[in-house]
Structure 1
Amino acid sequence: MGKHARKRQRKAEEEESFPLGTRIDLADEASKDDEERRLESLLFGKPYVPSISKDGWNAIDTLEDDDIEGIEGAEAELEAMLDADLFFVDDGPSAAHPNSPVLDLASDPEAALPTPAPSETMQTPVAQKNSARKVPAWTDPDDATLTVDLASVRRLRKLRDAPDEGILGGREYERRLRRQFEKMNPAPEWAAKARKKRRREAVEGEESDGGVEELLTGTGGIVSAARRRTIRQGMLSIERLRDVNQTAPADGEVKAIHFHPSARVPLLLSASADRRVRLYNVDGHTNPHLQTLHIPELPASTAQFHPSGTSILLTGPRPYYFTYDLETGTTTRSPRGLWGTTFSHAREGANELSMELAAFDPTGSILAVGGRRGYTHLVDWRAGGGQVVGSVKGNSSITSLWWSGKQLMTLGEDAEVYIWDVGERSCVRRWKDDGGFGAKVLTGDRAGRYAAIGSKSGIVNVYGSDALLLSGLTRPKPLKALDNLTTTITSVKFNHDSQLLAIASSVKRDQLRVIHLPSLTAFSNWPTAGTPLGHVTAVDFSATSEYIGMGNNRGRVLLYHLRDFAS
């Protein structure tokens, strides 16, 4: 019985069709290009012969019979050699030959061509390119034999992955130390982007120019202003750093802390109950202590930088103040005629001229000092010597004051807010805080969009820009009454771009909340019940809000890093 016609046709098609490249004669040298010939020379030790000569003719066709016989003889000699004699792994210059050169095939491919050797045994070293990953400049051989007991050292217990983990080898110990360091000091955003870009270019086969192309093609400046980053409500990206005053702790309660007004000067001052003012360089790691000022005759309750950043003002429950010049390092007491020549203890009383409440205007030309009987004294700072040039008076003792641009705002014990025209020495507007009981602290943001008033009941009323207007017939309504705390508010502070508001109370432990603006909601992830804040007595943000500092009654200045504002 004959075969089926369809089967005969299928068999014929299978015989005619073949995969691509299966019918190529491997011995045909004329069909190979230069790259294939060079690769065969590197792998199999064959002499490299270019396919095209300088005259444009095929080099194989122009070889003489003696040359062809020499090539065939070399191939026959290589066929009799073992694989171990043909190949080896190049780990760099060997110990036996420290001066042996390392070939670079990428820069000079012709360097890999074999050269005739006088010995009968033919050896062809192969130089392989190292991987793109950088190798360490030096490796300690003792790391392989090192053992570390994590359970015996208290500071190393944080490196354990399991509670019962004990001894680690040197390599694993190094890896965990590196992991802990990267956890405490995460890579900045620009470095992470650069790494992703290099990986992407390595995959795509592109070369990175280090950002030079972006710099040359862009129209922005080399040193551009930082972008405003919007903080979302709910979760705050924050981490605890080393205490600012760990190198020089205070003996007693921290009365005041203040960051330098310039973002280029990483300074922080702290005034404590031991009548000392300490300066620290805030770098987020060691925070070195720079200087200590001891003023025995003044228990400084307020310490602040001048808006220009060139000096420090120190005030307290005394009718005089001290200034410290950062450039010259000199301390100066206020002149005798600060309060004029008509000073009388019978009329004013020494306690009535306390300078605990003092604040500079944004330009630093006028210092406002709050008194007890409704007076707010104005000190002319431009003259250099300091002189009270005028006063404004409310109906009750002043509990807090704050400058809104050129206008001065004061808060009285009767919860009334006065807005003063300093030039005319007159009140242009007056309104009462909502609730109207026990107002303690008044402050606002730099842009003049918000004002906040804290009371004895723990409620903080946040007002909008309508409360800062110079004219208004109706009493402004608060945007929201924050009732996150239940004790007397002692500290209220806005950050530099009015996205965060910190409120604190020194009456109870751990009484601090960070409010998100403009949603006016507290962040839920920080602080927690386990955050060791203590009795918070002072709060301040750095110039760019990268750091937030808190002083407590135990003399510690806590420091936290806000990752959303990292430079």
Structure 2
Amino acid sequence: MKRNWSKPRGKSQMKKIRSNDEDPEEAKLSQLLFHKSKNMSEKLKSQDVESSELDLKPAWVDDDDQNQVASNPLFKGKSQYADKLKQKFETMMGTPSWAKIKPKTGDEDEFSNRVGHLESRKKLQAGTGLKAKILEIKPAQDANADTKNEGRNITCVEFHPKLSVTLVGGSAGVVSLLSLSGHENKKLHSFSLKKWEIQTARFTPSGTHAFITSSGRHRQYCYYDLVKAVPEMIDLPNIVNKANNFELSRDGKYIAICGGFDEVLILSATSKELIRRLKNNSNIVSICFSDSSEQLYCYGAQGEVTMWDLYTFRSYRKFYDQGCVNGSIITASPCGRLLALGSGEGIVNVYKTSELKESTTYNPEPFHVVSSLCTKITGLQFNASTEILGIISNVLPSAAKLVHIPSYKIFQNYPTQGKDIGILNCIGFSPNSGYMGVGNDKGHALLYRLRHYTNY
């Protein structure tokens, strides 16, 4: 359901779009976002045309379907019945990953044993893997230098998956969309959500929309259309009072919501409808999807991890995080090989997902233990190539560490010794790891350039 929102800040205003008349503010924002190129929707349509040109034939014909059509008076023909079923399935579930046809490239890379993750062929040939101990990092202009009105606490710094754009949100309920040029970061658009303290923001894989949630007791979340610059308020299911944990699957198919109790709701990201309720044994403090979006990991308050299969919606593995007294946060690597768990004791245990699937013990040994912080872990993030693991704690100022993978050595030059960067609330990396962003308690979305990576 739609709800009223406050007027956006700045010159741009959100207006209702007439069916046959393009809003000039919408066109302006669209040009800024997509570099004055054709509309993003046209690009997405072009991808659909390419897939439609393929000669797709059914793998088999089910006689039961034909018999059901013949006996069902509601459908006059086979095509009408099949289209109805297909439409209903795709509305609820989307296209399953096994049914997607991917073009063959002929140059499939193998997993690198040297680093422990999937690298590009160019990097493997050049032998320019990230070195340990010292990280080539340079402070850049704050991502929100052109706004500074998101609130004292910057709680999310989310990078756009395809464009040099970042979304910054904070305790004042203001969300800003900013372009990143490396030298000067300009505001593209900004809007305010009344009585909201922004907690999380997640871009869809296409980059045309973003999901935004609040840390307060709001039974809604914001669905933001970047092209039209229109935020839409959507109600949560009645059984959820607030979204303590809100995650979007990497393929953009599922939304997982947990209110801090022992149940997770799985919603369709397209239809926004409830698909399944997953019952956990203990209260959940953190959730994350696997790299393939086929599994969901739930981290319990006492350190128990439940692994769910999203095809069958059944738990297939449970284990206890070794040495954990109070669970805090969980995250999975983009390569799919590692699972990192941070606890209230300042310990980060890293597990190999392959060993978790093969092992049957309730107390598996972690692959590596990182104990560089002594306070509660509140932020964990892998970079895109799984060469860096960012760890932060919002208990003490400058409580942050960057871990090199696979050596698991701490980079010595971050944070800079003797420099106070405030209490950190969030950490994130751009799609190609060219930038790292952290939000602190001084209203700054700190931005850093990682020189080892040449692209945004």
Q: Residues of 2 paired with 1:362 and 1:243: CA distance? A: 27
DSSP-derived class of the 1:251 partner:
coil
Matches within 5 A, 1:311-390: 311-316=209-214, 317=216, 318-335=218-235, 338-339=236-237, 343=238, 353-383=241-271, 386-390=272-276
CA contact (8 A) 2:333 2:386 kept: yes
Q: Residues of 1 paired with 2:399 and 2:411: CA distance? A: 14
Report the counterpart of residue 451 of structure 2 in structure 1. Answer: 563
Q: CA deviation at 1:476?
A: 2.5
1:432 to 316, 320, 328: 320
Q: CA deviation at 1:401?
A: 0.5
1:393 to 250, 266, 279: 279
Residues 271-327 of structure 1: CA distance to partner in whole angstroms, max 9, x if unpaired?
A: 100011111111110111111111104332111212221101111232211111111
Q: Does 1:234 align with 2:160?
A: no
Deviating above 4 A after TM superposition, structure 1's stretches of 4 or more consecutive aligned residues are none
After superposition, the Cα gap between the structure-2 partners of 1:382 and 1:251, relative to the gap in structure 1 and judged at 3 Å, is closer
Report the counterpart of residue 260 of structure 1 in structure 2. Answer: 160
CA contact (8 A) 1:371 1:377 kept: no
Q: Residues of 1 paired with 2:355 and 2:207: CA distance? A: 30
Q: Residues of 2 paired with 1:540 and 1:417: CA distance? A: 24
Q: Does 1:288 align with 2:186?
A: yes
The aligned amino acid for 2:212 is L
Q: CA deviation at 1:396?
A: 1.4
DSSP-derived class of the 2:220 partner:
coil
Q: Residues of 2 paired with 1:308 and 1:355: CA distance? A: 24
Matches within 5 A, 1:172-251: 227=123, 229-249=128-148, 250-251=150-151
The number of equivalent residue pairs is: 329
Q: CA deviation at 1:403?
A: 0.6
Rg: which structure is higher? 1
Q: Residues of 2 paired with 1:525 and 1:296: CA distance? A: 40
Compute the TM-score of the two structures, normalised by the length of structure 2.
Answer: 0.69
Report the counterpart of residue 276 of structure 1 in structure 2. Answer: 174
CA contact (8 A) 1:451 1:467 kept: no
Pick the structure with more strand per residue: 2
Residues 412-433 of structure 1: CA distance to partner in whole angstroms, max 9, x if unpaired?
A: 1011100011232211100010
Matches within 5 A, 1:548-559: 548-559=436-447
The aligned amino acid for 1:562 is L
Q: CA deviation at 1:548?
A: 0.5
Report the counterpart of residue 399 of structure 2 in structure 1. Answer: 511
CA contact (8 A) 1:452 1:460 kept: yes
Q: Percent identity?
A: 29
Q: Does 1:537 align with 2:428?
A: no
Q: CA deviation at 1:482?
A: 1.0
Report the counterpart of residue 54 of structure 1 in structure 2. Answer: none
Q: Residues of 2 paired with 1:551 and 1:273: CA distance? A: 11
Q: Residues of 1 paired with 2:243 and 2:131: CA distance? A: 40
DSSP-derived class of the 1:469 partner:
helix
Q: Residues of 1 paired with 2:165 and 2:222: CA distance? A: 19
Query: Where in structure 2 are there 5+ consecutive unaligned residues?
Result: 1-106, 108-119
Q: Residues of 1 paired with 2:324 and 2:143: CA distance? A: 38
Q: CA deviation at 1:518?
A: 0.5
CA contact (8 A) 1:307 1:360 kept: no
Pick the structure with more helix per residue: 1
Q: CA deviation at 1:471?
A: 6.3
Q: CA deviation at 1:462?
A: 1.2
Report the counterpart of residue 333 of structure 2 in structure 1. Answer: 445
Report the counterpart of residue 67 of structure 1 in structure 2. Answer: none
The aligned amino acid for 1:527 is P
CA contact (8 A) 2:324 2:345 kept: no
Compute the TM-score of the two structures, normalised by the length of structure 1.
Answer: 0.56
Q: Residues of 1 paired with 2:207 and 2:196: CA distance? A: 22
Q: CA deviation at 1:243?
A: 1.2
Q: Residues of 2 paired with 1:368 and 1:251: CA distance? A: 27
Report the counterpart of residue 369 of structure 2 in structure 1. Answer: 481
CA contact (8 A) 2:324 2:343 kept: no
Q: CA deviation at 1:467?
A: 5.0
Q: Does 1:302 align with 2:188?
A: no
2:345 to 432, 457, 468: 457
Which protein, 1 or 2, shows the higher relative CO under an 8 Å CA cutoff with sep ≥ 6? Answer: 2
Q: CA deviation at 1:531?
A: 3.1
Query: Where in structure 1 are there 5+ consecutive unaligned residues?
Result: 1-219
Q: Pairwise CA RMSD of aligned residues?
A: 1.9
Q: Residues of 2 paired with 1:443 and 1:400: CA distance? A: 9
Residues 392-450 of structure 1: CA distance to partner in whole angstroms, max 9, x if unpaired?
A: 01111111111112111110101110001123221110001010311100001111111
